[in-house]
């Protein structure tokens, strides 16, 4: 079946981006931009968002899972599990809300400590984190300046000012996320074509002959959103964490749920 073939194709090059931050800072709209969707003006509190985007770039398949763990803000154990399964982290605060920056700082410390404990390190480790100061379009309401961010988070953390509404700064931020996670820069939304999921899968599977040799090459980077993707169960995530803690690295396979 095609689903089984696709699962085999995507056993490698799987990455999970975990998005964290205070409420109402624009996390959902940043994710919408990454998925190729438009900004949405109305606000509804996010319960939990899990998205999957599949890429074909340079003859390779990549799977990027995005988890907005908004509902876990008041559930430390669940949030910790999400952190432990993350490969790349995007911390979002709002430039018109100083408290949201403080929360991003606390989350950064939590991520470092959790990852260090998982790998049995004696001190917090350096982790692949990007910090995003969103709502840059509200310049008249800004209360956080760039020097403030360096003082609170440290100068070594990549920081981008963005606007999910206008799109300002997002492309550079997405490229930095890709670079930090070892992904091709073509995963940035402006650098690939989005096509329907069935078209995408059939094109990729169609490259392989009966003996597994490729019959043709897709030259232009393309991607598709998997509309049926669901977050793996907590049990699956726990097994992932247990596997990575014993090997001190990321497990070799990630399964499509």
Query: Tell me, which fold does domain 2-247 have in CATH?
Result: Rossmann fold (3.40.50)
Q: What is the per-residue pLDDT across 188-220, written as a single tens digit (0 to 9) for each?
A: 999 999 999 988 878 756 554 444 444 345 578
Query: How far apart, in Å, are the Cα atoms of 88 and each of 10, 13, 68, 142, 204?
Result: 18, 13, 12, 27, 26
Q: Tokens 């690939």 — which residue?
A: 192
CB 65 within 8 A of CB 226: no
Q: Which residues pair with 92 in a beta bridge?
A: 21, 132
Q: Which residues contact 49 (CB under 8 A, 6 or more apart)?
A: 28, 31, 66, 67, 68, 70
For residues 160 and 130, the answer to whether their CB atoms sit within 8 Å is yes
Q: How far is residue 188's CA from residue 184's CA, in Å, rounded to a whole number?
A: 8
164-191 pLDDT, tens digit per residue, is 999 999 999 999 999 998 999 999 999 9
Q: What CA–CA distance (Å, rounded) separates 64 from 191? A: 15
The confidence band for 231, taking pLDDT boundaries of 50, 70 and 90, is confident
pTM of the predicted protein model: 0.84
Written as six digits, the tokens of 256 are 């499509």
Among 30-44, 103-117, 133-147, 239-253, where is mean pLDDT lowest? Answer: 239-253
Q: What is the mean pLDDT of the chain?
A: 82
CA atoms within 13 A on the CB side of 118: 26
């Amino acid at each position: 079946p095609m689903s089984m073939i696709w699962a085999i194709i995507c056993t490698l090059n799987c990455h999970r981006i975990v998005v964290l931050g205070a409420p109402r800072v624009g996390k959902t709209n940043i994710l919408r931009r990454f998925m190729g969707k438009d900004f949405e003006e109305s606000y509804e509190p996010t319960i939990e968002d899990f998205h999957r985007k599949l890429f074909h770039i340079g003859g390779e398949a990549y799977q990027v899972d995005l988890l907005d763990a908004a509902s876990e803000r008041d559930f430390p154990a669940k949030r910790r599990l999400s952190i432990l399964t993350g490969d790349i982290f995007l911390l979002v605060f709002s430039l018109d809300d100083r408290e949201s920056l403080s929360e991003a700082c606390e989350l950064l410390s939590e991520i470092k400590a959790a990852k260090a404990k998982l790998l049995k390190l004696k001190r917090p480790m350096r982790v692949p984190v990007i910090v995003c100061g969103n709502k840059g379009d509200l310049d008249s309401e800004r209360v956080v300046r760039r020097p403030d961010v360096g003082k609170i988070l440290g100068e070594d953390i990549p920081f981008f000012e963005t606007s999910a509404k206008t799109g300002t700064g997002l492309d550079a931020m997405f490229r930095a996320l890709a670079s930090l996670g070892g992904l091709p820069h073509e995963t940035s939304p402006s650098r690939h074509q989005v096509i329907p999921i069935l078209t995408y899968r059939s094109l990729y599977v169609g490259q392989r002959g009966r003996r597994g040799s490729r019959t043709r090459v897709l030259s232009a980077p393309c991607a598709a959103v998997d509309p049926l993707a669901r977050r793996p169960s907590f049990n699956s995530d726990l097994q992932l964490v247990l596997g990575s803690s014993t090997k001190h690295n990321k497990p070799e396979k990630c399964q499509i749920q």
